[in-house]
Amino acid sequence: FLSTADRQAATELLAQKGFDPLKPVIAINPGATGGTAKRWFPERYAALARKLNLKYGVQILIFGGPSDHELGEYIKDKAEGSCINIAGQTSLGQAFALIEQCSLFVTNDSGLMHAAAALNVSQVAIIGSTDFVATAPANPNSIMVRVPVDCSPCLKDTCPTDHRCMERIHVDMVMQSCDALLDKIVTAEI
């Protein structure tokens, strides 16, 4: 359930941050609870944000809780002006209302991934150490990006070896999935 107040707060936050209501908003959600094993690399999120901004001229929000704010700042800085970090700056209800306004949600396996699925927001879910069958987003507009490796799913909080499940997921792989969903969205809007 999204309240009118949360939706209004989301709209006001986007306006305050200078977002053009006619341009698509893309979200990236680089955090995940339960350790770093479920997290794709911040520098790759930054590179993806730069590519999305360059190709589509989109506005990008970095999502997360208070503990993800520093991570969001790192990505924002590396993304060279492509993103605005709102990690830790909203209530959960406001975050859900902001997700609802996004054209695409790029995320690790996380609670917000499932919120985006429940809101029927197109998403690219980057899956590494978790069980991709058990945690798959329940949304037909989702694409899971994963590379099968012998040690996944390990379900560990931190990778005890070389984090190959995430290391083998390259920016171009995620970008291709974003392109596939954004092409559908652009076609549907015409």
Q: What is the pLDDT of residues 18-55, one digit of tens each?
A: 998 888 999 999 998 877 888 999 999 999 999 999 99
Residue 165 vs residue 181, higher pLDDT: 181
Give the containing element (helix H, strand E) for 84: strand 83-85
SS3 137: coil
Q: Write down the pLDDT at residue 187.
A: 56
SS3 167: helix
By the 10 Å C-beta count (0-12 exposed, 13-18 middle, 19+ buried), 28 is classed as buried
Residue type, 37: A
Contacts of 138 (CB under 8 A, 6+ apart): 114, 117, 118
Give the containing element (helix H, strand E) for 108: strand 104-108
Q: Which two tokens stand for residue 175?
A: 């970008």
Residue 165 reports pLDDT greater than 90: no
Q: Write down the pLDDT at residue 190.
A: 40
Q: Write down the pLDDT at residue 186.
A: 61
- CB count within 10 Å of CB 127 equals 25
pTM: 0.94
Q: Give which of 52, 62, 39 is closest to 181, Cα–Cα.
A: 52
